[in-house]
Structure 1
Amino acid sequence: MKRRQVVASLAASGLGLALFSFQTHGSVRAPAVKNKLEIPNNLSGSTPPLIRIGMIVYNELTQLDFTGPFEIFARIPEVEVLVVSQTLDLVTSDVGLRLVPTHTFETAGKIDVLFVPGGPGQSAQMDNSVLLDYLRRTASQAKYVTSVCTGSLLLAAAGLLTGYKATCHWLLMDQLAIFDVQVTPQRIVIDRNRITGAGITSGMDFALTVAALLRGGNVAKLIELILEYDPAPPFGTGTPTLAGPELVAKVKQLSGPMLVERRAQSLAAYKRLHSENR
C-alpha cells in the first residue's frame, strides 16, 4: 500500500485539512503544508525512541472512535501510526467512511501501543479467532493495551481485561461486566497498562491522555491547544445523567434490538473464552 494512497484517503475524510502539520515517522504522515509547526521531540531537544501505535480497523467500526484518536496520535513526536487490519482491503465504517489499512496482522511487527476502536461491527468480530489471537499476541509485548467505546469488549473477548478496571459506551457496560471486568463508569479508566475510553467522543480525551503518558503533559497540552479542543456541547445531553430519564429511555428503545443481538454475541464470546481456558 503506497503512502500517498493512505494520505489521500485520510485527506478525503478531512484528516488532511488541519491547519498545522507535524513531522511524524512511519506509516501515516500528515501532508506537508506551508509554515508547518513541528512539536519538539520532548521539549528538551533530545530524541526519544520511536513509538509504534497499532490502530485496529474492521468493517462497521464507528469512524470517530478511530479518527479522533488518530488525529492526536499522528501529531505526537517520534510516533509511527499503523492502521492494522486482517487484510489490506478497504474498511468501511458504519456510516460509510472508507479507511485504508497500512499493515496486516502478519506485517505490523512489534507494537508499543495497541488500540481497538468500537462500533456496530465489533459484535461480528467477537468470534473472529484470527483477530482475537492477534490481540493476545500483541498485548503480551505492548507497553499499553487500549480501546475506545466497545473496543473494550473485543479486548475482553480476548481475555485481556479479566480482573481489570475498564469502561465502554454507557449502553453496553452491562455486557462488559459479563467478562469479569471491573466496570468503571468514567470517561477514561487506567488500570496498570490498560487504558480504556468510554463512548465515541471520549476518544479525544483518551488520546490526549495517552499522548501525555508517551511524551509528557507539555506535549499533550500543545496538541490540545493546536486542535482547539474545548468542547462545548450545545444541548448538554451527552451522558445519561445529563440527558435525563426520558431521553435515556428513548435511546434504549431505539437501541433495543441491537442490544439484544450484541448481548447474545457477548455471552457466546464469554463461553468460548472460558472453554478455551479450561
Structure 2
Amino acid sequence: MQVAIVVYPGFTALDVLGPYEVLGRLPDTEVVFVAERPGLVVNDLGSLSVDAVATYADVSEPDIVLVGGGAGQQDQMADDGPLIEWLRAVDRTTTWTTSVCTGAFVLAAAGLLTGRRATTHWAGLDMLTGFGVTPVKDRVVIDGHYATAAGVSAGIDMALILAGRIMGDEAAQTVQLIIEYAPEPPYQAGSVDTAPPSVVERAGRMLSP
C-alpha cells in the first residue's frame, strides 16, 4: 500500500506528521512525501522542513492521498495549479482521498467534495458551503472514499480510523498503543464548545489574516 502525503510551503506540521506516525507503522506500507518539486519544504512556522523525495509526476497511483492544511494552503488552490490537477487525476484510482484541517479546501477546490459532507478546522467550517460542500461539525467525516479531519490533531484520529478500516481494529489498536495515543489534555479548551469565550476570541484574532 502506498500513502502519498502532500507537502507545500507553509504546511502545518502536525496535519501531516500525525497521520504519518499512524499510517507509516502499518505493515507493507510505503509513505512518500510528495511536492511540486523535490527537496526540503518549510512549514508554516518556518522552523521545520520535510524532505519531499517525489514530485506529483513520480506518484501516479497512490492508494491513499493526504492533504494537510496550513498558511500556504491558499496558494495551492488555483484551478489549473499542479496540485489540483494531480489530485483530480489520482483520485480516480485512490482507495482513500483524505484531508486534515484546511486541507479540505484544497480537495474542495479540486471539485472532489462537491455535494458531499466534510469537516475542517472550526474557524473555517462554514466556508465549505461556498464550495458546494455540506459542513459537518465532527472530528472525522467519511463520505464515500473521502475522509476529512477537523483541525490539526484530528488527523491522528482519522488515520487510526482508516487503519482500522484497511487492516482491522486490532492492527489499528496496536499502532495506537505503540504511539501511546491516549490524550489527557490539561485543559478543556480543545473546541469552541468547551473553551472559555475569552480564549475563543483570542484564538480567532490569532487566526485572522
TM-score between the two structures when normalised by the length of structure 1 = 0.73
Task: State the alpha-carbon separation in 2 of the partners of residues 219 and 62 from structure 1.
Answer: 27
Which SS does the other structure have where 1:243 is aligned? coil
Match of 2:49 in 1: 98
Cα deviation for residue 252 of structure 1 reads 1.4
For residues 104-183 of structure 1, the aligned pairs below 5 Å read 104-127=55-78, 129-183=81-135
Aligned match for 2:16, one of 66, 71, 74? 66
Task: State the alpha-carbon separation in 1 of the partners of residues 148 and 173 from structure 2.
Answer: 20
For residues 1-278 of structure 1, the aligned pairs below 5 Å read 51-95=1-45, 96-127=47-78, 129-256=81-208, 258=209
% identical aligned pairs:
37
Which SS does the other structure have where 2:173 is aligned? helix
Runs of 4+ in 1 over 3 A off after TM superposition: none
- The answer as to whether partners of 2:108 and 2:131 remain within 8 angstroms in 1 is yes
TM-score between the two structures when normalised by the length of structure 2 = 0.96
Which SS does the other structure have where 1:84 is aligned? strand
Which SS does the other structure have where 1:175 is aligned? helix
* Higher RCO (CA-CA < 8 Å; seq separation 6+): 2
Task: State the alpha-carbon separation in 2 of the partners of residues 125 and 192 from structure 1.
Answer: 24
Task: State the alpha-carbon separation in 1 of the partners of residues 70 and 156 from structure 2.
Answer: 16
Letter in 1 for 2:74: S
- Structure 1 gaps, min length 5: 1-50, 259-278
- Paired residues, number: 207
Letter in 2 for 1:120: A
- Cα deviation, 1:196-222, whole Å, max 9, x if unaligned, reads 000000111111111111111110001
- Structure 2 gaps, min length 5: none
Cα deviation for residue 254 of structure 1 reads 2.7
Cα deviation for residue 109 of structure 1 reads 2.6
Q: Over alpha carbons, which structure has the higher Rg?
A: 1
- Cα deviation, 1:86-122, whole Å, max 9, x if unaligned, reads 1102100012211001211111131111110111110
Letter in 2 for 1:70: Y
Cα deviation for residue 235 of structure 1 reads 1.1
Task: State the alpha-carbon separation in 1 of the partners of residues 23 and 108 from structure 2.
Answer: 23
Bigger strand fraction:
2
